[in-house]
Amino acid sequence: QINLLKESNALALDIGGSLAKLVYLQPHLPHNRAPPPLKIHQVDGTLANALSVPVPVLDGTLHFFAFESRNIHQLLRFIRRNWAHHTARRHIRATGGGSFKYESAFRDEIDVSLATLDEMTCTVAGLNFLLTYVDNEVYIYSKTQPHRPPQPASVPHATQLFVPAATNPFPYLLVNIGSGVSIVKVTDHATFERVSGSSLGGGTFWGLARMLLDCQTFDQVIDLTNHGDNRNVDMLVGDIYGGAYENLGLDASVIAASFGKATMRNDYARHQLTTFSLIKDRFRRAICGTLDLWLSFCHALPLVGRVLKAFGIGSDVPWSPTLITHTGAQYRPQDIALALLRMVSYNIGQIAYLNARVHNLDRIYFGGNFIRNHPYTVADISFAVDFWSQGKMKALFLKHDGYLGAIGAFIGASS
């Protein structure tokens, strides 16, 4: 049921742990039902999207915007710039944890009160709405080589097969990959149950990528994955067997242990060091190994301590997280990025399949901003579902995967 509030029907929010999403309905002109030119002023930090979609049942076009939740002020500025005259002392429907956390910021800074709605109810309602009213929303990844994981060094090109809207998409399993993962069994428009979840989600991937790779934006990491070769980092069946494990039907290219290659190398730390970092590394090791006590003393002297710190030298250095970061950097960042993405994607694909099996469901929709049609993410999740279900199940993806909650809030989902 679509339940638009007159005073707040232009936009709705879903403020999550990583991203704050905004959905805006641009009404169509009455005479030709076409959208007028969109006049939206971007502010710093607006994540561009090309996902606008005309929705006849809403008599308008939906537009989608996102901001990093840690920069919530950018979202406030965006709303003030574009909707100040509509929203002053008004309500905006909002869901997600941030609709509670930032409630006072909205009230105090832009004079908007948030009408909060339950997050899971909105997410499911948003997906039901898309499945029922929006054609070509759903796509599947059609792989080129069955039974083999997508090969690195040739970014998988998904042949997307789109699926028309359906009046009865039930029952299905929703696997929503946001910062964490929620797994929800949906049996009809009003009935759902969160049957499982995982803390290894998009936040894990993005968080580890930031620690290991020093990337500034999520899209930089995704870009790295497109140039990566995880075989330099992951231990494959072929690394253990010298080829396929035929008795179990495991191709040589199947990952046996994510990041396991690091345990197989003797030249671990030195392999790809540049001359400068080699000298720096030797210097650090020599000093750290022999003069530990002396260094602790030096750290007490501000200037000497600062110089040593610049070289990464200190009594806590050899086994500290800082050194792990440095050691990691001796692998190619793009290979680490891809290994991380595959680790998280395969794991979620497998958990999704197991839940579908336990609950006797054969349709699995994957939502959340972790996906966003990134080639390896889509290919790997599809491969995992296909692999574990022995070809009986397919992963189903959504064009507006990251906006389910915001769409649900927009249409006024109530539990």
- Under DSSP, is residue 161 helix (H, G, I), strand (E, B) or coil? strand
Amino acid letter at 410?
F
Q: Rounded CA gap, 337 and 223, in Å?
A: 9
Going 131 to 373 to 11 to 22, the CA torsion angle's sign is positive
Q: DSSP letter for 256, please.
A: E
Alpha helices in 329-402 (DSSP H): 333-358, 375-388
**Residue closer to ligand ADP, measured from CB, 192 or 370:** 370
Closest separation in Å from C-beta 145 to ligand ADP: 27
The distance of closest approach from Cβ of residue 103 to ligand ADP in the complex, given in angstroms and rounded to an integer, is: 17
Minimum distance from CB of 309 to ligand ADP (Å)? 30
CB of 328 to ligand ADP, least distance (A): 19
Report the candidate in 140, 150, 145, 146 with the shortest Cα–Cα distance to residue 376.
150
Q: Measured between alpha carbons, how far is residue 261 from residues 245, 258, 279, 376 in Å?
A: 18, 8, 25, 20
Whether omega for the bond prior to residue 54 falls within 30 degrees of 0, making it cis, is no
- Closer of 129 and 370 to ligand ADP (Cβ): 370
Which residue, 127 or 235, is less far from ligand ADP as judged by CB?
127
Smallest gap from Cβ 393 to ligand ADP, in A, equals 23
For ligand ADP, which is the closer residue by CB, 281 or 380? 380
Which residues of the chain form contacts with ligand ADP (CB under 6 A)? Answer: 16-19, 47, 68, 96, 178-179, 202-203, 205-206, 218-219, 368-370, 372, 402
Kindly report whether the peptide bond that precedes residue 171 is cis, defined as omega within 30 degrees of 0. Answer: yes
- Structure-token match 């710190």, residue found: 309
For the CB of residue 224, give the shortest distance to ligand ADP in the complex, in Å: 14
Taking the least distance from each CB to ligand ADP, the nearer of 184 and 308 is: 184
- Are 355 and 196 contacting, i.e. CB atoms less than 8 angstroms apart? yes
Give the C-alpha separation, 196 to 199, whole Å: 11
The residue among 96 and 228 lying less far from ligand ADP, judged by its C-beta, is: 96
Written as six digits, the tokens of 167 are 């009046």
Q: How far is the CB of 370 from ligand ADP (least distance, A)?
A: 4
Closer Cβ to ligand ADP, 16 or 412, answer by number: 16
Give the 3-state secondary structure percentages of the chain, helix then strand then coil, rounded to 5. Answer: 45, 20, 35
Q: Could you tell me the smallest distance in angstroms from the CB atom of residue 203 to ligand ADP? A: 4
Tell me which residue of 171, 78, 177, 83 sits closest to 128, measured CA to CA. Answer: 171
Looking at the Cβ atoms of 49 and 330, the one nearer to ligand ADP is 49
Chain mean position to CA 139: 18
In the complex, which residue's CB is closest to ligand ADP? Answer: 16
Measured CA to CA, the distance from residue 256 to residue 234 in angstroms comes to 8
